[in-house]
Amino acid sequence: MSKGRILIVDELHPVFKERAIAMGYEVDDLPLYTREQTLAAISNYQGIAVRTKFRIDQELMAAAPSLKFIARAGAGLDNIDVDYARSRNIQLLNAPEGNMDAVGEHAVGMLLSLMNNFRNADHEVRNGTWDREGNRGYELKGKTVGIIGYGFMGKSFAKKLSGFEVNVIAYDKYKTGFSDAYAKEVSMEEIVKHSDALSLHIPLTSETRQMVNEEYFFHFRKPIFFINTARGEIVQTQAVLQAIQMGKILAAGLDVLEVEKFPALQQSPWFNDLKSSGKLILTPHVGGWTFESYRKISEVLSDKLIAVI
């Protein structure tokens, strides 16, 4: 007897479908489905699996009277109307455990690249300039790295830093007593006072949207290296550019932006400044998207599907 039907509307590793079928589900794997096609078909399903293709909002859930769960192949739930889903007792499954190592490694890679001028040095050598002094870097050893948000991603980043002999401090508004072998829990006041580098690992919510602005950077006592592998809309890009110009930020690594993908990104008023700055490393929201995490995310989701049963 079938436990229900699941509609996959995005590219997921096949292991999710295989395990769901083994549990007794019927699975329709239709990653090319549009939002319109999903709206037309969703009434026939008890579960839907998605990455980031479109928002699972009230309209879509209202069209699915039998919907029991939403499986989000990734960490964040910001493309889901969480409040409405909970009002309907629709279970929300996500998989931060699946890409936390990818994000932690990506953040470390960005930090090392920024501190050692890899981007500029590579560009100069390719263009005939051999400037050792101008590309002299900083060592991580002995520095204080501040982490905002100490969930799966924040802890993964801290753990990856543990071999660099750094002082890792972390602030999380919604947690207490989380000091461990990798980071010390501190107040936000201590973060802004002591940090040599700052990395964001918080979800996008109504509270965190545009949280990092000019005033936010103003409070830091020392110039910092700044990393964002969380969500772009948490940070005002113009504030980052201004902080770089003022010397508040030495260099920044942005895997996420408040506007992503072209042509919308190119049309943003700050894009040309972003593109021309030699103090930035930009990556296209791939911090949690490795060949390994692609499979691990689906494995985690399928494990959590057992709990739904």
Total Cβ atoms within 10 A of residue 154: 29
Catalytic annotation present for 231: yes
Burial tier of 290 (Cβ tally within 10 Å: 0-12, 13-18, 19+): middle
Burial tier of 88 (Cβ tally within 10 Å: 0-12, 13-18, 19+): middle
Helices (runs of H) and strands (runs of E) counted in the chain: 12, 12
Catalytic member of 5, 194, 285, 295:
285
Catalytic annotation present for 11: no
Catalytic member of 124, 260, 295, 299:
260
Catalytic annotation present for 260: yes
Burial tier of 278 (Cβ tally within 10 Å: 0-12, 13-18, 19+): exposed
**Residues recorded for the chain:** 309
* 200 CB-side CA count, 13 A: 25
Rounded CA gap, 21 and 15, in Å?
A: 10
- Upstream peptide bond of 263 is cis (omega within 30 degrees of 0): yes
* Residue that the structure tokens 């009230």 belong to: 58
Catalytic member of 13, 119, 201, 231:
231
Helix (H, G, I), strand (E, B) or coil at 299: helix
261: left (phi over 0), alpha (psi -120 to 50) or beta: left
- Evaluate whether 111 touches 140 at the Cβ level (below 8 Å): yes
Q: Residues with catalytic annotation?
A: 231, 260, 285
